[in-house]
Amino acid sequence: MSRRRADTGTRRGRLVGPWRRPWGLIAVTWLYIAWSIVPVLVAIQFSFNAGRSRVNWQGFSLRWWSGDAGSLLRDPDLWVAMRNSVVLALVTMAVATPLGVALAVGLTRWRGPGRRPANLLMLVPLVTPELVLGSALFLVFTRLYETVGIQPVAAILGGVPGVGALAERIGTITVAQIVGHVTLNLSYVVVIVRGRLLSIPREVEDAAMDLGATPWQALRTVLLPLLGPAVFASLMIVFATSIDDFVISAFLQGDVSSQTVPVRIYGGVRTAPTPALNALATAMLALSLVAIVLAIVVPRLLRRGEPRTVDALSDFASLDV
């Protein structure tokens, strides 16, 4: 009898609940979810308001997206902020991910002295409040690395042969902002990639080298492909963190031309905001949604079949960083 009850209580190997349905918990959970999402939906709705107000609905219109002089597409400030956010996130992904993957591989393969301090140095940024990191970087760029200072990428690297053209395109964000975002993200990449590395037995690499591969070839042709999903997860986390960051971007911005979307929203709320600010936030959210869809779809295409979205989400959720 009790055996039977245990069976009904367990579905797919998981205890569903031996007692009656937890109505209280269900209510709290859905109320919480509504509370966390509805305000944002209202903010999105009001980006389409026909009036100036962000709280009184006066009908549907696209004027804050493209019509008015102060609309998202026609206000150069808003437009530049969007561009800056996206470019900063992309550059951060491009720098932090390879640097982090190399650091993760290096740290796990490192035998000998220096390993523990290096490890600690990698972990401390994870628990350092952004305010501490932001102000420390601000002080170091204004008081020690003064040649770089807080200046746009184009102003510093614009004339350098080879990278000049690229620097011109990166344009208005500052070198200090890039450095700050990379530092903020580097340790996340290492932790994610290292988690995956630990599950790959060392013998895989050894086998490659027994077959005549150089250590570099073994790394490139064997290890890196195996690290694919972790690298992809890192890219997504870096993108999300960078797009969302306010403190570092704010401390290390030069002038208005290097402000990012969060900084612009912060400035906007404190002055006289119009629904164009909502439109700006909504556009950024749409970009993030594209990223999350990619994050779910791409790994599925990469390894067709077994792994389900739920598992990918669970992996992400149980990430203890």
Partner 1 sequence: MLAAPGVAWLIGFFAVPLYATLAVACGTDDVNGDPRPVWNPTRWSLGRAAVPELGISGDGLRGVWDGLIDGTFGDPMLRTVLYVSLALALCCLIGYPVAYYVARHGGRRRGLLLGLLLAPFWISYLMRMLAWVNLLQPDGQVNDLLRVLPGLAPRDWLDGGPVPLVLGLVYGYVPYFILPLYAALDRIDPSLLEASRDLHAGPVRTFWHITLPCSRQGLLAAAVITALPMFGDYYTHDLVSPSNRTTMIGNQIDQFLRQSSGQRTGAALVIVLATGLAVLMAYYLAATNRASQETG
Q: Is 133 in the site for partner 1 (CB under 8 A)?
A: yes
- The residue from 52, 62, 74, 135 that contacts partner 1 (CB under 8 A) is 135
Asked if 298 touches partner 1 (CB under 8 A), the answer is no
Q: Does 278 bind partner 1 (CB under 8 A)?
A: yes
The only residue of 1, 69, 301, 317 in contact with partner 1, by rule CB under 8 A: 317
Please, are residues 206 and 255 in contact by the beta-carbon 8 Å criterion? no
Which of these segments, 33-41, 61-69, 157-165, 202-210, binds partner 1 (CB under 8 A)?
A: 33-41
Site string for partner 1, 47-86 (x = CB under 8 A): -------xxx------------------------------
Taking the CA atoms of residue 219, residue 221, residue 222 and residue 225 in that order, the dihedral angle to the nearest 10 degrees is 100
Can you give the length of the chain in residues?
321
User: How far apart are CB 201 and partner 1 at their closest, in Å?
Assistant: 13
Minimum distance of partner 1 from residue 222's CB (angstroms): 15
Residue whose CB is less far from partner 1, 70 or 125:
125
Residue 284 near partner 1 by CB under 8 A:
yes
Interface of this chain with partner 1, residues 166 to 225, rule: CB under 8 A: 179-180, 182-183, 186, 190, 198
Smallest distance, partner 1 to C-beta of residue 129, A = 3
271 binds partner 1, rule: CB under 8 A? no
C-alpha dihedral (24, 29, 30, 36), degrees to nearest 10 = 140
Q: Write down the least CB distance from residue 33 to partner 1, Å.
A: 5
User: Nearest to residue 133, comparing CAs of 187, 86, 96?
Assistant: 187
Q: Is 248 in the site for partner 1 (CB under 8 A)?
A: no
Q: How is 196-245 classified by DSSP, letter by letter?
A: HHHTS-HHHHHHHHHTT--HHHHIIIIIHHHTHHHHHHHHHHHHHHHHH-
Q: Which residue has the tokens 């997504």?
A: 236
d(CA 221, CA 224): 6
